[in-house]
Amino acid sequence: MSMSAIVKSVASGDTLVLRGPPGPNGQPPKERILHLADITAPRIGSATREDEPWAYESREFLRALAVGKQIHFHVTHALGPSNDGGQRDIGTGIVGGADVASEILKNGWGKVKEGKRDETEEDTKRKALEATAKEEGKGLWNPEGPKERIVNYAMPIDPYAFLTEWKGKPIDSLVEQVRDGDHLRIRLLLADDQHQFINISIAGIRCPRSTPKEGESGEEYGNEARFFSESRLLQRHVKTTLLSLPAPAATPLNATAAPAPPSYFIGVVVHPVGNIAEFLVQAGLAHVVGWHAGMLSSLGIMERLRAAEATAKQQRIGVYKSAAPIASSTATGQSARSDARIFEGQVIRIWTGDQISVVEKATNKERRIQLSSVRAARANDPKQAHWANEAREFLRKKLIGKQVRVHVDYIRPPEGEYEERECATLRVGGGNANVAEQLIEKGLATAMRHRRDDENRSPDYDKFMAAEQAAVAAARGLHSAKEVPPTRIGNASETHAKAVQFLSSFKRSGRIPAVVEYVAAGSRFKLVLPKENQTLTLVLGGIRAPRTARNPSEASEPSGPEALDFANRRFMQRDVEVEFDNVDKSGGFIGTMWVNKTENAGLSLVREGLASVHAYSAEGLSYAQQLIDAEAEAKKEKKHLWSNHVDEAPVQPEVNGDSNGDATPHTPEYLDVMVSDIRSSPTGAAFSIQILKDGGIAALEKLMSEFAIHNRTASSAPGFAPKKGDLVSAKFSADGQWYRAKVARSSPVKKEAEITFIDYGNQETVAFSQMRPLDGKFKTLPAQATDARLSFVKLVGSESEYGEEALQRFHSLCEGRKLIAITDYREGPLLHLRLIDPTSASLTDPSACINVDLVREGLAQADKSCRYLSSNPTIGKAIAAAADEARRERLGIYEYGDVSED
């Protein structure tokens, strides 16, 4: 009985592998082996045996004649099943109207079997064909004999060297086996006399795995994918281009043997009608592998694969049957998105190498953006720390303050400690450049490896992979072998003493280039000075910006958050120039900052009504009049701080000419002071100050240095019993150091004395054994501490439950800080002072003093026994207004209501 089938492949010059149609539900088609009757041909070799002479040429003839074509065959003898269970037969076949055996004999690629007893007419014809081929010297009968050929059936011994030699070169090849839709065994025809077998995985795709053996299960569509490739590629000539080897597997720590060499290459297989990968994807039989884009984008293959993927998704076929269709592309090649996910804005901050903050132009809202499909170098990894800083600096120089176009590609949901984040593509400049692609190309970031089914990715993901491939090839950034030691940056503001050391050289340098690293408040910044390799704190001179709450328990001053927000948006991470004038007690530098060489940061804040002029510190500035004019303009326009401003004549401190016991009339005096001690008193709080003039503090520091050296070697006087009024050396219990002191009361019985440390004002009871007579050479410098109290107000007393809180708040505002004091009254040696923080107040504003601040917080009240309060009505109004505000806000003593007498 005559049957028909398709010739799947040719095993040798006299043997064909036939297949029927595919079975239902993707089952592989049934196969059978047909040995041509009464002829023999040379056997093709394998890894264990060499080719017989002329075997390759004989098989090639039959392959070209029959593979992929329909054959009509007749079985004369049925043999047993083959090793894989298929049917084996002996018979004859006709392809294209010609008898296959006769064609083989006619062209000299086979021989008639000898020893047949009863020859037929057909046998006679075949022998005649063989005799003619012999006479003509065809095929096996070629008088020159078979060609010498080296055939390597195993993978190259050194795959890396082989890849280096042949990478990127199209090689004539023959597909010998299809293991899966994307995994082939190929014979590379390197030369007429050299063939190399390799295993290859088709780049850019992954097909489902097929059924490995009968009875075992593969992945869905795996058999269909293998059949698709088999029916088009098996034993067809193709062009093969090797691109890479798979990444080596991680070697266990306890491994003793070297890792096994790679078992396959990654490359492109092109049939005469096109790249098989594109056809597999378009048929829904393969997924696109994004991380191969680096190898394929330069060849233009990834774009075609993505187009094929879009077609399959639109049709929802094969592995894409459940996929959402891809949105149509716009003219610029970007996936279409809703207008709500596209916006323009200004970059105001670079957080890391892949996160930035953008202020949306339409809404003025700040949005924190993650670059889509990008993983920047990590600062907490020692090997990546340098490149993390480089990535951040690259983005800062390229983006900060610039207008960008933002396309939100997807929203990354919150996960663990990570909050929800908008992932977007940023484009800047007229060239429509993708910032993330530039970052990856410089080796400062890598493309994120998405899961195959993860559609949340950048529309330029394939370009990212190509950029990363280029960075790896050029060994740039993260991909370089060199190790960059961490850069050590000093802190010039670490201490007051350290800041003073830098000040003179900074002042000589004039304007110094810097970068704003952090904005602590409207007028306080952390700067980096790249040339000096230092960081420091800068406080803008001549102005006072309202403070912002540092923690939830604090309240911001009016317009404080607005001032901080303005400074963040205007100055954060900008290149600036700074000029220094002085340093404060904490090591901060006081000076001027310019943005874009011309914009004075302090002047901008005052002009926006987000800072007031600090008259005392502004006097020496060259632009003092500009500050005053800007403040006047802001008041006129009622901006921020001045929204409720009412013009009034400036108030000068007034003098009370009345006498109050031993109190004397006094002309107000402005003093630079340092509050050295605070203690409870009948007025709520008494304190001591050090007056910062005439070199007193410098002289005290020198004296204390010599005093410390002296007391290391000085011995205690046995039986020393100081008397009231004596000047002594006494050891302070808190730090164990020796200081000058005056005895207030002495008790020979208890052998202890109550003393006052004359340079700081604090008091303590000290044992006689911890005291010594004061050496005469340390008596020449006058006592540096002066007793004082607050003018006009009285701190809440210790009898109140708010007394301790009031005293602690006074400590936090004053102690150890450089302040400006206005002496409103002298009561013998006791000074009545108004205290002003020069970094946060204006001398022209009577309410801008610590005295009024304490009233505003409900921790102090107007002192009704103050004789000179009535002579200062403006101060009186400010105190009354502050008390009203405390009542309204239920602060301090007003927590449970009004506590005044009425």
Task: For residue 516, tell me if it sits in a domain.
Answer: yes
Same domain membership, residue 266 and residue 159: yes
Task: For residue 843, tell me if it sits in a domain.
Answer: yes
Same domain membership, residue 133 and residue 174: no
pLDDT for 122: 85
Q: Which CATH number is 110's domain given?
A: 2.40.50.90
Task: For residue 55, tell me if it sits in a domain.
Answer: yes
Identify the domain boundary among 642, 669, 703.
642
pLDDT for 661: 39
For 624, the 3-state DSSP assignment is: helix
d(CA 438, CA 757) in angstroms, rounded, equals 65
Amino acid at 448: M
Q: Are 871 and 654 spatial neighbours (Cβ–Cβ below 8 Å)?
A: yes
Between β-strands 15-19 and 612-613, what pairing exists: parallel, antiparallel or unpaired? Answer: unpaired
Same domain membership, residue 373 and residue 302: no
Same domain membership, residue 173 and residue 310: yes
Task: For residue 71, tell me if it sits in a domain.
Answer: yes
Cβ neighbourhood burial of 382 (10 Å; 0-12, 13-18, 19+) = exposed
Identify the domain boundary among 107, 141, 175.
141
pLDDT for 781: 84
Task: For residue 660, tell me if it sits in a domain.
Answer: no
d(CA 52, CA 44) in angstroms, rounded, equals 6
Between β-strands 39-40 and 111-112, what pairing exists: parallel, antiparallel or unpaired? Answer: antiparallel
pLDDT for 848: 84
Over its C-alpha atoms, the chain yields an Rg (Å, rounded) of 46
Same domain membership, residue 635 and residue 510: yes
For the chain, which residues score pLDDT lower than 50? 328-339, 648-665
Q: Are 201 and 266 spatial neighbours (Cβ–Cβ below 8 Å)?
A: yes
CA-based nearest residue to 798, from 730, 859, 709: 859
Predicted TM-score (pTM) of the model is: 0.56
Task: For residue 611, tell me if it sits in a domain.
Answer: yes
Same domain membership, residue 473 and residue 501: no
pLDDT for 337: 41
Task: For residue 901, tell me if it sits in a domain.
Answer: no
State the greatest distance between any 2 C-alpha atoms of the chain, in Å, as a whole number: 155
d(CA 590, CA 538) in angstroms, rounded, equals 6
For 202, the 3-state DSSP assignment is: strand
Same domain membership, residue 805 and residue 749: no
The pair of structure tokens assigned to 201 is 């995985």
Helix H segments across 49-158? 55-66, 100-106, 121-136
For 727, the 3-state DSSP assignment is: strand
Going along 569-669, which residue ranges are E strands?
575-583, 589-595, 599-600, 612-613, 663-664
Same domain membership, residue 160 and residue 44: no
Same domain membership, residue 862 and residue 760: no
Same domain membership, residue 176 and residue 61: no
Same domain membership, residue 819 and residue 744: no
Range of the domain at 710: 692-783
pLDDT for 324: 66
Phi/psi of residue 631, nearest 5 degrees: -65, -40
Task: For residue 267, tell me if it sits in a domain.
Answer: yes
Count the domains in the chain. Answer: 6
Helix 301-315 to helix 461-473 angle (10° resolution) is 150
Same domain membership, residue 706 and residue 726: yes
**How does pLDDT run across 167-184, given as a tens digit for each residue?**
999 999 999 999 999 999
d(CA 278, CA 307) in angstroms, rounded, equals 9
pLDDT for 120: 82
Identify the domain boundary among 115, 141, 167.
141
Q: Which CATH number is 739's domain given?
A: 2.30.30.140
CA-based nearest residue to 741, from 709, 706, 770, 698: 770
For 164, the 3-state DSSP assignment is: helix
Residue 652's CB is within 10 A of a number of other CB atoms, namely: 8
d(CA 819, CA 581) in angstroms, rounded, equals 17
d(CA 868, CA 663) in angstroms, rounded, equals 11
Give residue 840's region: left, alpha or beta (phi > 0; psi -120 to 50): alpha
Beta-carbon contacts of 429 under 8 Å, excluding residues fewer than 6 positions away, are none
Amino acid at 224: E
The pair of structure tokens assigned to 736 is 């164990």
Residue 357's CB is within 10 A of a number of other CB atoms, namely: 18
pLDDT for 564: 93
For 657, the 3-state DSSP assignment is: coil
